[in-house]
Amino acid sequence: MDPAAREAAIVERLREVMRYAYARSSFYKKKWDDAGTHPDHITSLEAFEKVPVVTKAELRASQAKAPPFGEYLCVPESEIHHVHGTSGTTGRPTAFAIGRRDWDVIAANHARILWSMGLRPGDTVFVAAIFSLYLGSWGAMLGAERLRARSFPFGAGAAGMTARAASWLAAIKPQGFYSTPTYALRLAEVAAEEGLNPRDFGLKAMFFSGEPGASIPSVRNRIAELFGAQVFDCGTMAEMTPFMSAAATCESADGMLLWQDIVYHEVCDPQSFARVPYGSQGTPVYTHLERTSQPMIRLASGDLTHWVNEPTGCGRTYPCLPKGIYGRIDDMFQIRGENIYPSEIDNVLNSATGYGGEHRIVITRERTMDELLIRAEYSAELQAQGDAAIASFGQKIGEAMHKMLGVRAKIEPVAPGTFQRTDFKARRVIDDRDLFREIHGRLDKNFIDQSCR
């Protein structure tokens, strides 16, 4: 579609969505009244930028005030078809109420995107992600079912399940596969341990969400090489399901296209939340164009990315995130004045010959300066080559890290299997600076006590 014509249609839809929420939600009515904005003011995308953003903290506060679904629920509770949510392990859980109509909308949108990845009716899609509160697995299954593909909701998480997944994949040879990137890499390891070659599974399209990875070139290339399949990155936020509204297509597997007629995506300055120009970096801000149960209108993600608006291999005229979503702004850490994202370290390691598949990033303090320590597993093949090869591996990684990050990192090569694998999102960053300060404070206190005796 011509982008100008699509943007005109989006402006009209944004007014409709805002009128709908204004009439049904005390949350949105009060927020917009306090900001002096009204649905009728939305005559352009520039005018829409003046609508205040919604934060996750506000959603949690609204649900605490009006449990369980908050003041932004815009349908009667009798219309709710599915309830999902966050785990609540780090605070109050957030409940996602999805209406019956919205469940069908998510299915149709995801089916459309899976078609663009090359999947077709009659194909089999293997869903290897936890079926619980997590919406990723459900969204993948919904799209496959609406596409009239055969859905194999295998799940993940139980002991021994990954070996069984490899066995099933070898037996049924599905065309499509969904999981997190971390799980796909773990699956390849387990398959090899079981004497199976992942390339023999016959996978055609592997699509991922839940964590950065599938847009990191070295990770994407590693998965593609291991399985002999095309790798697609997708995903925004659980609150924004249909979360696949940012997704690669068959002809444009690098990065993610922004399907603007499903969810309106903006990339904005993290302070002002005004859109940044194409070619610039910012935080994604999302607005539902079809959801009615808990519509998100200018939801600030807290993630970081950059966007471009250039011709695509598939001919679609959407903007693109060429490197996907880097990760959460909160995930960024500073070492000696340099901003560092874990995804950059992932990229270096997965490009390295001899990397064993897992690592930990330790931020620590030695003397008065923050230090970066990377504990990286080496492969069994490298281990067989002896200590000199392992030392060379560590040296080469250190040089590559310095070039990529702009700071020197200490590299500790560790034996294969040192770190526990996960069936879900990987947590690889350990910040022990607070522990350092606590120990340092105790040492100082002991020194003073002893000096005063």
In the chain, list all ranges with CATH 3.30.300.30: 332-449
Residue 393 class from Cβ within 10 Å (0-12 exposed, 13-18 middle, 19+ buried)?
Answer: buried
- Domain covering 332-449 in this structure, CATH number: 3.30.300.30
Where, residue-wise, is CATH 3.40.50.12780 in the chain? 97-329
Non-local CB neighbours of 374 within 8 Å, separated by 6+ positions: 345, 349, 359, 360, 361, 362, 397, 401, 409, 410, 411, 412
pLDDT of residue 394: 93
Which stretches of the chain score pLDDT less than 50?
A: 89-90, 435-436, 439-440, 442-443, 446-453
Planar angle of CA 391, 333, 89, nearest 5 degrees: 105
Query: What confidence tens digit (pLDDT) does each residue in 246-255 have?
Result: 999 987 777 8
CA gap 17, 11 in Å, rounded: 10
Q: Using one digit for the tens of pLDDT, what is the confidence trace for 48-102?
A: 999 999 999 899 999 999 999 999 999 999 999 999 998 654 457 889 999 999 9
- Closest of 280, 286, 288 to residue 305, by C-alpha: 280
Pairs from 356-359 (Cβ < 8 Å, separation ≥ 24): 356/380, 356/382, 356/416, 357/185, 357/186, 357/189, 358/418, 358/419, 358/421, 358/428, 359/419, 359/428
pTM reported for the whole predicted model? 0.79
Dihedral, CA of residue 64, residue 65, residue 67 and residue 71, to nearest 10: -120
The token pair at 281 is 């970096």
Helix (H, G, I), strand (E, B) or coil at 366: strand
Pick the CATH number of 97-329 from 3.40.640.10, 3.40.50.12780, 3.30.360.10, 3.40.190.120: 3.40.50.12780
